[in-house]
Amino acid sequence: MQVCLNEVKQTERMLHEIKKELKGLLLQLPAAQHLLSIPGVGYLSAAIFLGELGNPEYFHRAKQIIKYAGYDPQESDSGKRIGRKVISKKGRWLLRKYLYLMSVSTVNHSTFFRKYYQRRLKTKNRFGQLLKKKEALCAVAIKLIKVIFAFLRDKRAFQDTARFALAA
């Protein structure tokens, strides 16, 4: 039992050192400052986002990042029926996963994204049905990509939600 406890303590120390090193490396990137200014975006999710995305300057529009992540809507229609629009999932799965987790966190920590999420829950799709919670969170993830792209492009930070709401 004592051996197992020592292993757990050693693993916790190693994780703490890795987190500290990750934070130090992340703060060296200029894009990380803008990304970390968004409430609900932590060091790990920012590091994975930037690691999966690569150089943000390669992207000229937010739609390119949306497509790269696999959040672009795709219709599933045939000749006889009209299907639901779903995300394509053709992009980077880890980027898509962490964008979803970031959207959950930003809904909990940011009033701007919380209000957007609540508005999306009240909207209806093309069949007249209300959006499901997961669909609304995917919409928040797409909005988050657009916000992140704007911050990286303009080299600004998330400071005032009221001012930002007017600009968006």
| pTM as predicted | 0.84
* Residue 106: pLDDT over 90: yes
* Residue 164: pLDDT over 60: no
pLDDT score recorded for residue 12: 96
Please identify which residue in the block is written with the tokens 């093309």: 126
Lowest mean pLDDT among 15-19, 29-33, 134-138, 142-146: 29-33
pLDDT score recorded for residue 163: 47
Longest Cα pair distance anywhere in the chain, in angstroms?
66
Beta pairing, strands 85-87 & 73-75: antiparallel
Q: What percent of the chain shows pLDDT beyond 70?
A: 94
Measured CA to CA in angstroms, residue 168 lies from 14, 96, 146, 151, 161 at distances of 42, 23, 10, 11, 10
pLDDT score recorded for residue 159: 66
Mean pLDDT of 148-165: 73
For the packed helices 62-69 and 93-109, what is the interaxial angle rounded to 10 degrees?
A: 120
pLDDT tens digits along 140-153: 999 999 999 999 99
Average pLDDT, the chain: 89
* Residue 58: pLDDT over 60: yes
Sorting pLDDT into bands at 50, 70 and 90, what band is 162?
Answer: very low
* Residue 57: pLDDT over 70: yes
Mean pLDDT of 26-36: 90
Lowest mean pLDDT among 12-16, 73-77, 111-115: 73-77
